[in-house]
């Protein structure tokens, strides 16, 4: 029954505006949990909410619940144009126009500005905007069970306004006039929100840049006539014309023509790639030279670019363990600050006897100086910038939690074939058994290996195609992880081609069996990637131990290891044996596994972090936490460096957010901080945290 329900569940995606920090996201997350929804993902920066449900009839109720929290659910974020009065920039300008004269009365000798009724009239428009902006959000967050920063701002500004209003009505004099405090708190916090909004927009620029790449036109051929359509309207099987300078609209295969394509947006590699007939092209890449006809094969959400965008969105929302501390503190922070503010008032008024004016100002200063938003922004902003920088370097990290997982890495375990080596193989020798026909052997090898995506298989087929061979028609072919290929021909003969452990001469690494009898032995060799030795050297300088883990023969593994400087070698390992090796290393320290084949998939999943090459098997890519879109192994070092500096940025942000509040709250409580200065400092703390995250965009990470 559980299985049936899981299959029936639908993934719902909503565009939600009005979220401006992690506390907002937490209140929506808590609401969705209460409604029994699953796989909840709330991305405040991307303005997206995702969840799974087996009952779509709940959707209107869920949307109503989100909007009751003070947020807005819209159809298309790209087409949404908020009303003039909803824009935080316009609210700030409006409030600043009324707050400026209120502040000027302290500097200019204009007597009419000192009149209580004039100050009241100037403050009321600002206070109304503050009530609508902060009051609505504050009440919604309290109802949602996660009080946010707006609760503090609303209480602080309202306290100053009511205190001043009572003084004006009762004619108690200038010492009761703090309208400028109320207005300034609201205006400065709105200014902070403007900075925050613009900064958060910058942190999500990597995803938005990728989305822009998708928004292109396509030239579709219909009955010999070219029609221009949007890329999102292309369907599988359409024939498209792509000209020099165009972006390839969708994924597909070249039908005719040869071109140079810039794939830097996908791989980070600036050198154009030459493409010919039947080669695959990827949507979003740019045609540098030439033009071609193509067949659309993957469109919409199935394109590689769409999958990368989706993975990045999920990654940005995946919380590293270090964020849990910030979330936990932020959730109890607001009630704690309100309690401290009340204690401040009580102690300064009743115990210290400083009077109601001074006591109230100290309590208000405590409220407005506090900033749980800085704690909420500390991690997600750094993660978003780090993931974006990695993506621009051809490194696709599938989760923000992966960044923390690579901290203090002790071992990097490499597969050999296609990872440390090029994966392009040459046949050194085919040794046929007595009486066996070499042309038949070549035909069997070609027929079997054409059905496999393994680098060895592709290379063998490519090389044997130029040799004479006898055609063999197969009825079925099955790949066995880490062993090889089994096949049956139309005459009922059974074949096995692979690296099964048997007594063969050392330099032969593949064996072909027919009906369980050895038919031939094949000696193949591949070349080591030119940058591999330098990579191993750099890892050692970072105090990381490189390890070779392969299913290939021991003498070949030792040969490769000695050439590139690896001393720890595990050879002739099947997938389940690779798992055991990874488990041993994990017990000794943090372990990264880098591989590319189906036989590596279990080990990639088992390791603390699995890294797959872009040209790897689909299973390996799905099993890995990181995909290197650029086959250059230096991406491994870049990944480690970006992860290290992203984690460092998160820790710096959290330190600033915590230290700021630990210092600022007592200073405000003891009366050394004016509420207006407190409001400015609070807004500034958000800017510091986001600014530090944005620094990661250009920071030298080597």
Rounded-to-integer distance, Cα 552 and Cα 563, Å: 16
Q: Which residues contact 143 (CB under 8 A, 6 or more apart)?
A: 68, 69
Give pairs for 310-314: CB < 8 Å, separation 24+: 311/396, 311/398, 312/206, 312/207, 312/210, 312/387, 312/388, 312/391, 312/396, 313/43, 313/46, 313/48, 313/207, 314/41, 314/398, 314/399
Question: What element of type H or E holds 591?
Answer: strand 590-595
216, 261 contact by CB (below 8 A): no
416 secondary structure, DSSP code: I
701, 648 contact by CB (below 8 A): no
Angle 233-307-8 (CA atoms, 0-180°, nearest 5)? Answer: 90
Rounded-to-integer distance, Cα 179 and Cα 495, Å: 89
Q: Among candidates 345, 365, 364, which has minimal Cα distance to 355?
A: 345
3-state SS, residue 122: helix
Q: How far is CA 183 from the centre of its chain?
A: 39
Rounded-to-integer distance, Cα 447 and Cα 489, Å: 10
3-state SS, residue 515: coil
349, 243 contact by CB (below 8 A): no
Rounded-to-integer distance, Cα 200 and Cα 182, Å: 27
Q: Which residues contact 660 (CB under 8 A, 6 or more apart)?
A: 371, 374, 685
22, 380 contact by CB (below 8 A): yes
Going by DSSP bridges, is the β-strand pair 292-298/251-256 parallel, antiparallel, or unpaired?
A: antiparallel
Q: How far is CA 20 from the centre of its chain?
A: 19
Q: In the chain, what is the greatest distance between 2 CA atoms, to the nearest angstrom?
A: 117
Q: Among candidates 502, 503, 521, which has minimal Cα distance to 512?
A: 521
319 secondary structure, DSSP code: P
List the beta bridge partners of residue 232: none
Q: Where are the beta strands (DSSP E) in 499-584?
A: 510-514, 517-528, 545-549, 568-570
Q: Which residues contact 698 (CB under 8 A, 6 or more apart)?
A: none
176, 167 contact by CB (below 8 A): yes
Rounded-to-integer distance, Cα 236 and Cα 257, Å: 20
Rounded-to-integer distance, Cα 67 and Cα 64, Å: 5
Q: Which residues contact 69 (CB under 8 A, 6 or more apart)?
A: 27, 28, 31, 140, 141, 143, 144
> What's the number of CA atoms in the CB half-sphere (13 Å) around residue 620?
25
Report the phi/psi class of residue 466: left, alpha or beta, with left for phi > 0 and alpha for psi in -120 to 50: alpha
Q: Which residues are annotated as catalytic? A: 415
List the beta bridge partners of residue 569: 548
172 secondary structure, DSSP code: -
Q: Which residues contact 557 (CB under 8 A, 6 or more apart)?
A: 416, 548, 550, 569, 570, 571, 572
Q: Among candidates 597, 595, 571, which has minimal Cα distance to 456?
A: 597
């Amino acid at each position: 029954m559980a299985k049936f329900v899981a299959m029936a569940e639908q993934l719902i995606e909503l565009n939600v505006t009005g979220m401006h920090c992690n506390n907002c996201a937490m209140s929506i997350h808590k609401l969705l949990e209460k409604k029994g929804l699953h796989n909840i993902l709330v991305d405040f920066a991307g303005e997206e909410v995702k969840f799974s449900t087996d009952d779509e009839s709940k959707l209107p109720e869920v949307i109503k619940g989100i909007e009751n929290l003070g947020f807005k659910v819209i159809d298309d974020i790209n087409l949404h144009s908020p009303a003039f009065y909803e824009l935080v920039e316009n609210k700030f300008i409006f409030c600043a126009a009324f707050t400026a004269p209120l502040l000027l009365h302290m500097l200019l000798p204009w007597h009419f500005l000192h009149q209580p009724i004039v100050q009241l009239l100037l403050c009321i428009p600002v206070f109304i905007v503050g009530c609508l902006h902060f009051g609505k959000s504050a009440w919604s967050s309290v109802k949602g069970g996660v009080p946010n920063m707006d609760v503090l701002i609303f209480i602080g500004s309202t306290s100053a306004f009511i205190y001043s209003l009572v003084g004006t009505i009762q004619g108690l004099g200038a010492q009761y006039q703090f309208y400028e405090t109320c207005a300034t708190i609201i205006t400065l916090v709105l200014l902070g929100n403007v900075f925050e909004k613009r900064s958060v927009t910058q942190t999500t620029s990597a995803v938005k840049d990728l989305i822009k790449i998708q928004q292109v036109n396509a030239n579709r051929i219909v009955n010999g006539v070219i029609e221009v359509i949007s890329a999102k309207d292309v369907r599988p099987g359409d024939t498209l014309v792509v000209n020099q300078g165009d972006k390839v609209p969708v994924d597909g295969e070249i039908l005719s023509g040869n071109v140079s394509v810039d794939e830097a947006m996908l791989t980070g590699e600036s050198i154009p790639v030459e493409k010919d007939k039947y080669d695959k092209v990827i949507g979003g890449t740019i045609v540098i030279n030439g033009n071609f006809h193509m067949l659309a094969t993957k469109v919409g959400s199935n394109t590689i670019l769409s999958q990368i965008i989706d993975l990045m969105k999920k990654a940005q929302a995946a919380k590293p363990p270090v964020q849990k501390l910030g979330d936990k503190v932020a959730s109890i922070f607001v009630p704690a600050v309100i309690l401290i503010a009340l204690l401040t008032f009580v102690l300064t008024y009743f115990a210290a006897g400083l009077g109601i004016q001074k006591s109230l100002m100290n309590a208000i200063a405590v409220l407005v100086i506090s900033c749980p938003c800085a704690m909420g922004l500390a991690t997600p902003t750094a993660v978003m910038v780090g993931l974006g920088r990695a993506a621009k370097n051809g490194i696709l990290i599938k989760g923000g939690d992966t960044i923390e997982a690579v901290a203090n890495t002790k071992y990097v375990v490499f597969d050999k074939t296609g990872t440390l080596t090029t994966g392009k193989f040459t046949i050194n020798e085919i040794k046929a058994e007595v009486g066996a026909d070499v042309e038949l052997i070549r035909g069997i090898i070609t027929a079997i290996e054409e059905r496999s995506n393994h680098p060895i298989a592709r290379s063998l087929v490519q090389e044997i195609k130029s040799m004479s061979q006898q055609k063999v028609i197969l009825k079925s072919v099955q790949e066995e992880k880490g062993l090889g290929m089994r096949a049956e021909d139309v005459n009922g003969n059974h074949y096995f081609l692979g690296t099964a452990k048997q007594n063969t001469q050392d330099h032969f690494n593949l064996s072909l069996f027919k009906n369980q009898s050895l038919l031939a032995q094949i000696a193949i060799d591949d070349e080591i990637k030119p940058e591999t030795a330098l990579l191993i050297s750099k890892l050692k300088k970072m105090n990381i131990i490189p390890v070779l883990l392969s299913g290939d023969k021991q003498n070949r593994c030792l040969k490769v290891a000695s050439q590139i400087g690896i001393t720890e070698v595990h050879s002739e390992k099947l997938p389940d044996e690779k798992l055991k090796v990874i488990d041993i290393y994990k017990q000794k320290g943090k372990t990264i596994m880098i591989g590319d084949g189906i036989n590596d998939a279990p080990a990639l999943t088992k390791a603390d972090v699995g890294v797959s090459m872009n040209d790897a098997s689909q299973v390996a890519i799905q099993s890995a936490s990181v995909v290197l879109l650029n086959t250059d192994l230096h991406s491994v070092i870049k990944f480690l460096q970006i992860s290290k500096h992203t984690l460092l940025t998160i820790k710096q942000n959290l330190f600033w957010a915590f230290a700021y509040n630990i210092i600022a709250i007592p200073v405000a409580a003891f009366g050394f901080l004016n509420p207006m200065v407190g409001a400015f400092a609070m807004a500034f703390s958000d800017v510091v945290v986001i600014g530090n995250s944005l620094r990661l965009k250009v920071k030298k990470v080597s």
